[in-house]
Amino acid sequence: MPKTLRTELADGVFSIVLTRAEEYNTITPELRDELSAAIDEGDANDDAHVILLRAEGPAFCAGYGLGWSTEMQATEAKSERVWDSAADLRGIATFVDVYMKLFKAWKPTIAAVQGWCIAGGTDMVLCADIIVAGEGASFGYPPARVWGTPTTAMWVYRLGLERAKRYLLTGDEIKAPEAARMGLILEAVPDDQLQDHAMALARRMAQVPVNQLVMLKLLCNQTLENMGLASSRTLGSLFDGVARHTQEGLDFVARSGEVGIRDAVRERDDPFGDYGSRPKGGSDR
């Protein structure tokens, strides 16, 4: 029985619901594995035409789980072996490959986002075919300031070159209405209408035969594949490991060990003036 999510099937819509509300649905190895199995289940179910990813609680996903990734790197630092970039790439690929299942699934994937969707949460959700968000939702990649790069590399493909640079080179947040205006997501709707609106869209799409949905999704996705999505994703995943092992990245991990991850993130983000508004349950990666 999954511990981090649940699945539902109705009216041709296979829903995957993240259920770690108290932890802001932060990403853990357990969530990774259960999300992978759930996407596979929905994609293989003959009665499912569309996969809908949503979440319980105040935030869709506040990044990777609090502490475990910094603790893992701190443990690594005590090892006699130097950092192995190939092993790091293989490790992060176990997460990235799961997020990309939302993109590569035969059936369309829709994400309904409320509250915060930041850092690793964006690596996940930007792989969905369509994103609908509540007007109170916010997106962003604050670890761009130190200790990370977007692993799935979807920012440029969704925003275009200049806007992607504007937000990745600052780590600034994007409110949902602005994200919709710029094309990062499809649309922003009133928060209290989000779940019903996303489900209505999924049900409307589910009326189309699966074979048509598969062909049309492949046709659209091929454009991104031809633009070099696979190589961008590989570079983003590799650079994420590099960013965690620069001197600044190592200093950040050391500081996290001294004062805790929350205070280390606060110190990093205080000059930007946006730390206080973010959830405190994620590692902000």
Please tell me what DSSP assigns to residue 27. B
Q: List, for residues 128-151, the tens digit of each pLDDT value.
A: 999 999 999 999 999 999 999 999
How far is it, in rounded angstroms, from Cα 9 to Cα 117?
A: 25
Is the CA virtual torsion 21, 22, 27, 30 positive or negative? Answer: negative
pLDDT at 275: 79
CB 9 within 8 A of CB 48: yes
Domains of the chain (ranges; CATH) run 5-277 (3.90.226.10)
Q: Strands 138-140 and 174-175, how do they pair?
A: antiparallel
> Could you tell me the two tokens for 110?
């829709």
How far is it, in rounded angstroms, from Cα 101 to Cα 29?
A: 16
**By three-state DSSP, how is residue 52 classified?**
strand
Closest CA to 16 of 35, 40, 44: 35
Q: Which residues contact 191 (CB under 8 A, 6 or more apart)?
A: 114, 134, 135, 136, 137
How far is it, in rounded angstroms, from Cα 172 to Cα 150?
A: 14
Greater confidence (282 vs 274) lies with 274
Considering the chain, what is the average pLDDT of its residues?
Answer: 94
Q: List, for residues 24-47, the tens digit of each pLDDT value.
A: 999 999 999 999 999 999 999 999
On the question of pLDDT at 82 being above 90, the answer is no
Greater confidence (285 vs 206) lies with 206
Q: Which residues contact 237 (CB under 8 A, 6 or more apart)?
A: 89, 92, 93, 96, 151
